[in-house]
Amino acid sequence: MAMPEEKNRSLDVIRLRPYTPSATSSAPSGSAWYESLTRPFRMGNTADIAYGGCALAVLTAAAFQHLEAKHPASSTSSSPFTIYSASGLYLRPALCSTHFICEVTSLRSTRTFETMQVKVYQPTGKEGGALNACNIGLVDFMRRSANGRDNSILTYSLQPRLVPSAGTLTHHTRLTGEPQGMQERARSGELPQAAADAVAKTFSAMNAYTVSKLPPEGIWQPAAWGAHKRAKTGQEDRPVPERVGYDWTKVRGSLVDTESREEGSLPISQAAASASLIVFFLDGALSFSPLSFTNRFLDDAAACASLDFAIRFHREDTLLGKPGLSEREGWFLREIKARESAFERTYNEGVLWEEMGEGEDFRAVATMTQACVLKAKPKKEQARL
């Protein structure tokens, strides 16, 4: 049975309005400017800074706004271009106290490609003050395949390491959503209450945007995202680069933008919302996965943050938040691996998988990789839960 539609705060994360830069701006005359309607929020960091996925989502949404202004959708079809990659740098931490401002410049416009450069700023807070650059990225779009069909010479997809058809990954229909699942484990004594509370304090902000379920075969369920530092995960015999974190995720509500908007705010296409929120979701957990994979949590690091990102979309228009879905529908599997660590930097990879059917193969929707900083604290300062 279809679930009643709920207000989707995910659209608020990427809602934009036109912005007019100051007369002293040195931006190219062809740039388009946008301002976010909401401020970013804090999550997954011990410092008082915003979750990096907020800036990446706004960056992607701004590129879509500029693209769709140039190539608007018709009454019967979407924009003729679809996103296939985005990459860039985190230039400085974003603050939770102010909005984002985006400058979008077209670098390439051909029959086949549209390439945008997007700079994400935050104002200093002073009237007429400077804009501080937080992120810069390149977003690439490619013309859609003919007739909406995949005309590839070859079609294949790597599969997750643990898949339902092998009987080794618990399906989302047999799991309790978070944070209820973790609190139930704490009440039963399976998980220290302090670990459950640490996870709730650190990551609860994401619960407003997604529903998450943790299969016990991945590291994050038994280890409580690393907060349960003495947990046995079943992956201790594997080298760290072969350990895997899994969670089932589903966007809350519908991403069809039918709500009344504030004056001046721009409409959001479902393609733009889905791509922006895929970036938003995949940024989560990448930088601290090396900690959680080794019985550590954020309090064990002096610094843990993303330095850059690159995401490749493997499908055209994988749509999240379709209206009218039942509780069993609309789920995706996120898989994260920690590939490399040396010289206080790590390299990590996340894949979002679309389920073709319970017990059937998956297909990869998007892959994000990041280089991240990971600095150790002196051992005497490391806390153990």
Interval 312-357: pLDDT, tens:
999 998 888 888 788 888 899 999 999 999 999 999 999 999 988 7
Q: In the chain, what are the domains?
A: 10-146+159-381 (2.40.160.210)
Q: Please give the structure tokens belonging to residue 22.
A: 């100051």
Top pLDDT among 23 and 180 is at 180
Listed in sequence order, the residues at least 6 apart from 9 whose beta carbon sits closer than 8 Å to its beta carbon are: 208, 209, 252, 253
pLDDT tens-digit profile of 53-65? 999 999 999 999 9
Q: Within 13 Å of residue 141, how many CA atoms lie on the same side as its CB?
A: 30
Mean pLDDT, residues 229-250: 93
State the pLDDT at residue 74: 62
Which secondary structure element, helix H or strand E, spans residue 203, and what is its range?
helix 193-203
Residue-by-residue DSSP string for 45-87:
-SSS---HHHHHHHHHHHHHHHHHHHS---SSS--SEEEEEEE
Q: Please give the structure tokens belonging to residue 43.
A: 């999550």
Q: Please give the structure tokens belonging to residue 256.
A: 């069809």
Say what the pTM is: 0.91
Q: How are beta strands 131-143 and 113-123 bridged, if at all?
A: antiparallel
pLDDT tens-digit profile of 170-225? 999 999 999 999 999 999 999 999 999 999 888 888 888 999 999 999 999 999 99
Q: How many whole angstroms separate alpha carbon 225 and alpha carbon 371?
A: 20
Top pLDDT among 96 and 368 is at 368
Q: How many whole angstroms separate alpha carbon 9 and alpha carbon 127?
A: 29
Burial of 96 (0-12, 13-18, 19+ CB in 10 A): middle
Q: Answer positive or negative: Cα dihedral of 219, 220, 224, 227.
A: positive
pLDDT tens-digit profile of 265-282? 899 999 999 999 999 999
Average pLDDT along the chain: 87
* Residue 1 pLDDT class (50, 70, 90 cuts): very low
* Residue 107 pLDDT class (50, 70, 90 cuts): very high
Spell out where the chain has E strands. Answer: 16-18, 32-36, 81-90, 101-109, 113-123, 131-143, 210-213, 245-251, 301-306, 308-313, 332-342, 345-355, 362-376
